[in-house]
Amino acid sequence: MAVLEVLNARKAFGENEVLKDISFSVDKGEVVAVIGPSGSGKSTLLRCCTILERLDAGCIRYSEDTLVETSADGSALYADKTTMKRIRRRFGLVFQSFNLFPHLSVMDNLTEAPIHVAGVDKEAAKKKAVELLAKMGLSDKANAYPFELSGGQQQRVAIARAMALDPEILFFDEPTSALDPELTGEILKVMRELAQEHMTMVVVTHEMSFARNVADRVIFMDKGVIVEQGDPRDVIDHPENERTKLFLQKISEK
């Protein structure tokens, strides 16, 4: 069953069409890597899925909840507040630049939303946070503040925070791009572990080895359209489309 379904999504910033008729879906337990040159629309797609941007037209569905659909006059019609609130609990987002709350300890970063948004009681929220921190290998950092952590540790806290409300699907927006090269490994390792536990994930990334070895499916985007998608070994090792070939060539030259 599809956890996320996007149909004919369109989005423009002024004259600039960033998403042109994007359709794809993500099944439960599936790991989808979204690759493509910068400006291809992959981050915008993620931001539309997480309601940070609004589509101009198209449909986004989370399981049985419809976030947005195209109305009769062709414009995007968004769900009411209650549905929107429910949908926000269905996904988590990990940002490129972590965006932890600097004035809150690691523990409070993880429990603030469960307690004040979801109404989980304090003890239960803490217990869950302790479990997540252990999973991230950060058990000793519960009382630390974000500025005391390395970039890799901060991003692991951010992943734990995104998982604190038990989302059905996790989005990653270039999770390793803001990190020093020697720190990307620890994030990719955590993500690989999540994949093994069948966490549903959509990952916008430039890490080709991650896309090839971890993802179940790769989506290659360019200029606002999905050019090619399929098994990572096919798309990355034997691309059919010229644009995909060109992009992969450029990446491997680095």
Which residues lie near another protein (CB under 8 A)? Answer: 50-52, 85, 88-89, 91-93, 95, 97, 99-103, 112-113, 116-118, 145-147, 161-162, 165
Q: How far apart are CA 209 and CA 56, in angstroms?
A: 34
SS3 of residue 58 by DSSP? strand
β-bridge pairing 16-27 and 31-35 = unpaired
**Residue 205 one-letter amino acid:** T
CB 133 within 8 A of CB 126: no
Q: In this complex, which beta carbon is closest to another protein, that of residue 144 or of residue 225?
A: 144
CB neighbour list of residue 219: distance below 8 Å, 6 or more residues apart: 24, 32, 33, 34, 35, 226, 228, 229
Q: In this complex, which beta carbon is closest to another protein, that of residue 109 or of residue 244?
A: 109
Q: How far is the CB of 90 from another protein (least distance, A)?
A: 10
The 8-class DSSP code of residue 241 comes to S
Token output for 48: 């539309």
3-state helix, strand, coil in the chain (%, to 5): 40, 25, 35
Q: In this complex, which beta carbon is closest to another protein, that of residue 52 or of residue 251?
A: 52
Q: In this complex, which beta carbon is closest to another protein, that of residue 148 or of residue 237?
A: 148
Q: How far is the CB of 221 from another protein (least distance, A)?
A: 21
Q: How far is the CB of 91 from another protein (least distance, A)?
A: 8
Q: How far is the CB of 79 from another protein (least distance, A)?
A: 14
Q: How far is the CB of 105 from another protein (least distance, A)?
A: 9
Q: How far is the CB of 88 from another protein (least distance, A)?
A: 4
Q: How far is the CB of 133 from another protein (least distance, A)?
A: 17
CB 50 within 8 A of CB 171: yes
Give the end-to-end CA distance of the chain in Å, rounded to a whole number: 39
Q: In this complex, which beta carbon is closest to another protein, that of residue 115 or of residue 248?
A: 115
Q: In this complex, which beta carbon is closest to another protein, that of residue 11 or of residue 217?
A: 11
Q: In this complex, which beta carbon is closest to another protein, that of residue 51 or of residue 76?
A: 51
Supply the Cα-derived Rg of the chain in whole angstroms.
18
Half-sphere exposure of 52 (CA within 13 A, CB side): 13
